[in-house]
Amino acid sequence: MQHGERDLGDPDRYLTDSRFDRWREWAERDALVWSGPGTSPSGFWSVFSYEGCRQVLAPGTPFSSEYGMMIGFDAWHPDRAGGRMVVVSDGAHHARLRKVMGPFLSRGKAAELLAFVRQEAAALLESAREPGTDVAAVLAPSLPASVVCEILGVPPEDRGMMVELTNHAFAGADNTFDRMTPEEAHSEILFYCHGLIERRRVERGDDIVSVMLHDEGMDPAEVLINCDNLLIGGNETTRHAIAGLFHALSTRPGALDELRAAPDMTHLATEEVLRWTSPAMHVLRTAIQDVTVLGTRVPKGMPVVAWLPAANRDTRVFADADEFVPTRRPNKHLGFGYGPHHCLGAALARLEISAFLDVLAQRVESVALAAEPSRLRSNLVQGYRNLPIDLNWR
């Protein structure tokens, strides 16, 4: 990297909340910002405004996901899962994978899981009775992990182990546990999924793995790669949206009263949690031909990064963008991305967040921070390393 060039991929930049001021300024002037080689071998361009992000992610644009969708990948350094994992596929193959996986993550599936998710959220809230409970570590990770197990058809006897492994695997790149590193835990999960796939090859069920293997004739390696997509997609982001909802509520002491007064407002509050927390920090696309982005020519092969939380606080679209406003309407945030790769798990994520909001409204008067939260050291996930809270119970 040349002297003076910035690298927006440097994870240390995201340890504090100073990002929001920079992002606001860049979004307001529709900036296209260059990052020199560093975290990305060839460097990358960044967009921050709501319209800029939509322009890059919209259907029919000359951008590909197949080279990879996060900082570090480009046309000369492609993701090896490209063309096989749903989130890093394009065109007809991508559409087919969405069609196969979609029904297992649909609103219908979310409706089936409603009672289970509500019960789990209520039980988990009890684990936050102790003042100063770190919700990021203690409470937020389990429900997303249980939901992904449910989707993958993990048998009940293996759930506890899988939830624990998932907690280790997706706690954040800066965390190491006494027993194993996050990478080791992730490998253990993939090893388990490999076994699950082998079992489903002989013992067909009605789960997503069986359908991919038998109805779609996908090879086991491709099935495994897409199980991994669900594990990462379902866990890494949702846990921080759940932790973040406690943070959001702490900024607005009357929010739970508002929810109690109008329970049909939960869906609005859920969208606002997604906008305000925006756990997916960036998505990347690679230009497949020379293209003009926000007035600047981007050559074929170069990556362009869309910073979703910046777009979600674009002051030209969202009034009082830094405030958590549970009744915000309209709220067409980009928290789940935009265009053909719009999050497949959106209905499940919404279900999990709204279940926590409902149970909090029933049982808790207000939420307060017990100490300043510490942020995750990551350029990919906007979340919390620690978030200690005090609940004022009803």
335 touching ligand HEM, by CB under 6 A: yes
* 259 sits near ligand HEM (criterion: CB under 6 A): no
Q: Which of 31, 53, 56, 69 binds ligand HEM (CB under 6 A)?
A: 69
C-alpha to C-alpha distance for 183 and 276, rounded to whole angstroms:
29
In this chain, which of 348, 357, 387, 391 binds ligand HEM, going by CB under 6 A? 348
Q: Which tokens sit at 84?
A: 């096989």
Residue 105 CB, nearest distance to ligand HEM (Å)? 5
Residues 265-284 that bind ligand HEM (CB under 6 A): 279-280, 283
Which stretch, 11-19, 74-82, 319-327, 336-344, contacts ligand HEM (CB under 6 A)?
336-344
Q: What minimum distance in Å lies between the beta carbon of 171 and ligand HEM? A: 16
Toward ligand HEM, which CB reaches closer, 89 or 366? Answer: 89
Rounded Cα distance between 104 and 347, Å, is: 11
Binding of ligand HEM at residue 237 (CB under 6 A)?
yes
Task: Please give the backbone phi and psi of residue 371, each rounded to the nearest 5 degrees, phi first.
Answer: -160, 165
CB atoms near residue 183 (< 10 Å): 12
According to the binding rule CB under 6 A, does residue 98 interact with ligand HEM? yes
Residue 351 binds ligand HEM, judged by CB under 6 A: no
Judged by CB under 6 A, which stretch of 21-29, 202-210, 213-221, 345-353 contacts ligand HEM? 345-353
Q: Which among 153, 142, 109, 167 is positioned nearest to 345, based on CA atoms?
A: 109
* Burial class for 319, CB neighbours closer than 10 Å (0-12, 13-18, 19+): exposed
Question: Does 312 interact with ligand HEM (rule: CB under 6 A)?
Answer: no
- Give the x/- contact pattern for ligand HEM in 20-59, rule: CB under 6 A: ----------------------------------------
**Can residue 82 be called a binding residue for ligand HEM (CB under 6 A)?**
no
Range in contact with ligand HEM (rule: CB under 6 A) among 227-235, 250-258, 322-330, 367-375: 227-235
Residue whose CB is less far from ligand HEM, 235 or 366: 235
Task: Please say which residue, 142 or 238, places its beta carbon nearer to ligand HEM.
Answer: 238
Tell me the number of residues near ligand HEM by CB under 6 A: 27
DSSP tag of 320 = T
Contacts of 57 (CB under 8 A, 6+ apart): 63, 283, 285, 306, 334, 337, 338, 339, 341
149 belongs to the binding site for ligand HEM (CB under 6 A): no
Taking every pair of Cα atoms in the chain, the longest distance, rounded to a whole number of angstroms, is 59
- Contact predicate 69/311, CB 8 Å: no
Choice between 121 and 148, CB closer to ligand HEM: 148
| Binder among 8, 121, 124, 151 for ligand HEM (CB under 6 A) | 151
* Burial per residue of 101-130, b for 16 or more beta-carbon CB atoms within 10 angstroms, e otherwise: beebbbeebbeebeeebbebbbebbeebee
> DSSP for 162-210?
HHHHHHHHTS-TT---SS--HHHHHHHHHHHHHHHHHHHHHS--SSHHH
**In whole angstroms, what separates CA 216 from the centre of its chain?**
27
Cβ of residue 348: shortest distance to ligand HEM, in angstroms? 4
CB within 8 Å of 235: residues ≥ 6 apart? 141, 144, 145, 148, 166, 169, 170
Residue type, 53: C
User: Which CB atom, from 69 or from 298, has the smaller least distance to ligand HEM?
Assistant: 69
Question: CA triplet 282, 288, 291: central angle to 5 degrees?
Answer: 85
Residues that bind ligand HEM (CB under 6 A): 65, 69, 86-87, 98, 105, 148, 151, 229-230, 233-234, 237-238, 241, 279-280, 283, 335-337, 341, 343-345, 348-349
